[in-house]
Copies of this chain bind each other. A is one copy, B any other.
Amino acid sequence: MTNSNALILEPTASAYAYPLLIKQLLLNAMSLHGDQEITYRGEMRYRFRDFHQRIAQLANALGALDVKPGTTVAVMDWDSHRYLESYFGIPMMGATLFTVNVRLSPAQILYTMIDSDAEVLLVHTDFLPIVEQIRDQLPGLRHVVVLSDDGSVAATSLALAGEYEALVTKAARQYDFADLDENTKAVTFYTTGTTGDPKGVCYSHRHIVLHAMATALSVCSPGGTQRLSTADVYMPITPMFHVLGWGFPYITIMLGLRTVLPGRYVPEVLLRLRETEKVTFSHCVPTILQMLVTGAEKTGQDLSGWKVIIGGSALPPGLCKAALDKGMDVFAGYGMSETGPVVSLALTPTRSAPASAEEDLKLRCSTGRPSLMVDFRVVDEDMRDVPRDGVTRGEIVLRSPSLTPLYFKKPEASEELWRGGYLHTQDIAVMFPDGVVQIVDRLKDVIKTGGEWVSSIEVEGLITQVPGVHEAAVIGVPDEKWGERPMAFVVTWADVEAATVREHLLDHVRARRLSAYAVPEIERIRFVKEIPKTSVGKVNKKQLRAAPPEAA
């Protein structure tokens, strides 16, 4: 619904229309921070101005492989300066960057390579064996460029167009990045639910620029210790192949931050780089956080002054506490492949600081408060906002300038995602009076017992607080009397009794923090060796339900 009588400004003929383009994120970076540093694993380092020039060289190298506006270029790499160059150089040409999820099975990678219409592939030597398996099923793939840290290339049956560093180094240093329509497709990647084929999400230059600006402002503007500033040193620990590293590589380059790219994630290497490169800002999933905390506990390393956003799945309070005890300033963020991704952050608000350590912990582990410019609603089935009472559940639906406008080549799923003009997250949440959101379940994971809802995420969080518990997953299992009952799968690193877990939950029931019907029976608390995960490290509840692991 638009007001057609409103006056649309008609610029004078010579006025520059200024489309929002990824290349403009480099304006300040190059004008003011040309001598800022980017390092790969602490082993190689160069300046922003070298980065800028290499982007031009990359574009020339790809141009020689007939990459044109509209061409899809796939990348398979660990977090590297090469990946960062691709983040900018490929979309700046008008081409589409496809960040391949290297954790998928070869069959899934094949599917996404075909679905994305990838014509050129930049692939790290580590992943050549995968590509060798699927190469002959990719007739549309015209060129394979290999990425190598030392210039050497392992023996391969693949026909290669060359080695990245060699191609870039010899390419011309001038490239005129022409203006594009800001709605040009810049990036694509695939979201892997637990059902069906991977679905491709797409972001335009405009989406990416506005996500960078709004998210940066949401992290930079608060008054507390967690806020990001240009004095910070950045190291991603959410892979750059995963949801654009949550968009932070674009943000930190825009702001001119020193950037540390850690390659393949090895906890000891990450902890060493944090220390030697004086890293102060990162983001990762809870599983990696657990490894970092465990690693630092082993060595006695102090992690003070390290701000880390936790996303991908809920931040368990027990793990959050352990990280805080190591000095890390951890807090949760929320988003999905479809949402840009960041739409909320659990930074401590400047006003109304948490009353107690317990409140502070709860806030840090919450879904957070909506980012700037995000129309963040929690609604019932008729799209009415639920009361902000911290109790009433609803689905999170969103509007923002940075949401995927479709699933690639999937018109039905696209319409389902966007039904009613809001993006449906399928996350069930409650909202508190101060705007803090708490996800309580995935729509498809909700547990209903005796007519009452149980939040699997809440029960999981409480179980991880039991000393010795490493991880927990709770699903609904059929029950004759109650319809469904919660069942917990628990991984421990020390001896823990089911009765101890149950007692811990009952303590919370007695303190009126948990409903009695949310506590699994003792025979429904099962200690297992491992909880099944999806390719991106999330608990695979579909598999848990279909094939629950045996007791360890």
Contacts and interface: CB of A to CB of B under 8 A. Distances in A.
Most-contacted residue by chain B among A69, A202, A220, A232 (CB, 10 A): A220
Contact of A221 (B18, B204, B230, B407): B230
Contacts of A5: 68-70, 94
A349 to B, nearest CB: 8
Interface in A355-408: 369-376, 399-401, 403, 405-407
Interface in A224-272: 227-232, 254-255
A363 to B, nearest CB: 13
Identical subunits present: 2
B375 A27 contact: yes
Contacts of A421: 14-16
Q: In which size bucket is the chain A interface?
A: 35 or more
Contact of A31 (B13, B18, B376): B376
A419 interface: yes
A370 B27 contact: yes
Interface in A395-437: 399-401, 403, 405-407, 411, 414-415, 417-423, 434-435
Contact of A69 (B3, B223, B230, B374): B3
Contacts of A95: 6
A155 interface: no
A24 B373 contact: yes
B418 A12 contact: yes
A43 to B, nearest CB: 23
A375 B24 CA distance: 8
Interface stretch (A127-135, A210-218, A519-527): A210-218
Interface of A: 1-18, 20, 24, 27-28, 31-32, 36, 68-70, 94-96, 178-181, 183-185, 202, 204, 210, 213-214, 216-217, 220-223, 227-232, 254-255, 349-351, 369-376, 399-401, 403, 405-407, 411, 414-415, 417-423, 434-435
